[in-house]
Amino acid sequence: SYLLELEQRRDTGDFERLTKKEALKLEQLIAKLNRRLGGLKNMTRVPDLLFVVDVNREQIAVKEGNILGIPVLAMVDTNCDPDPIDLVIPSNDDAIRAIKLMVNQISAAANEGLQIRMAVQADEEVEEDEKYLGAATLAKLRSGDFADGDEASAEDQSAKPDTED
């Protein structure tokens, strides 16, 4: 992205070759882009879900989510139109306590989902290891019992050049 390119140019010292005015303008542009897009600059893919607190204030985000096919989860008050929202949470979107409560619950659910996904991936890795490795090798890996001779002989084998012709 343009922001990452500008930051890379700044970090490599490319701005030092520019005039003070040009460098200052680019620094201000970097600051502005970081303020507005800083949370998005390292995203590599489209998000799986868009959570919106105030639909009236974030109409552009809701429209973009609908255009890109991203499900929109939103806190919808009586003064909002729930039609463009996929998953509606009827809630007061003006009260700080209500916002904190909902954001904390959504955050906890996202963290729980991440933990579940990591556990499933770990189980899949174990199943894959069991599929390709023998029982004795797995037992050694789990216990950490590698004799020094096993490691040394492996190192010796890799260090010896093939002299057979």
**82 vs 77: CA distance, rounded Å:** 9
Domain interval for residue 78: 46-92
Q: Does a structural domain hold residue 75? A: yes
**23 vs 15: CA distance, rounded Å:** 6
How high is the pLDDT of residue 165? Answer: 46
52-96: pLDDT as tens digits: 999 999 999 999 999 999 999 999 998 888 899 999 999 988 899
The total number of structural domains that make up the chain: 3
Indicate if the pLDDT at residue 147 is higher than 80: no
Same domain for 109 and 87: no
87-128: pLDDT as tens digits: 999 998 889 999 999 999 999 999 999 999 998 888 787 777
How high is the pLDDT of residue 125? Answer: 77
Q: Does a structural domain hold residue 155? A: no
Q: Does a structural domain hold residue 9? A: yes
Same domain for 128 and 112: yes
Higher pLDDT among residues 163 and 129, named by residue: 129
Same domain for 99 and 85: no
Same domain for 139 and 100: yes
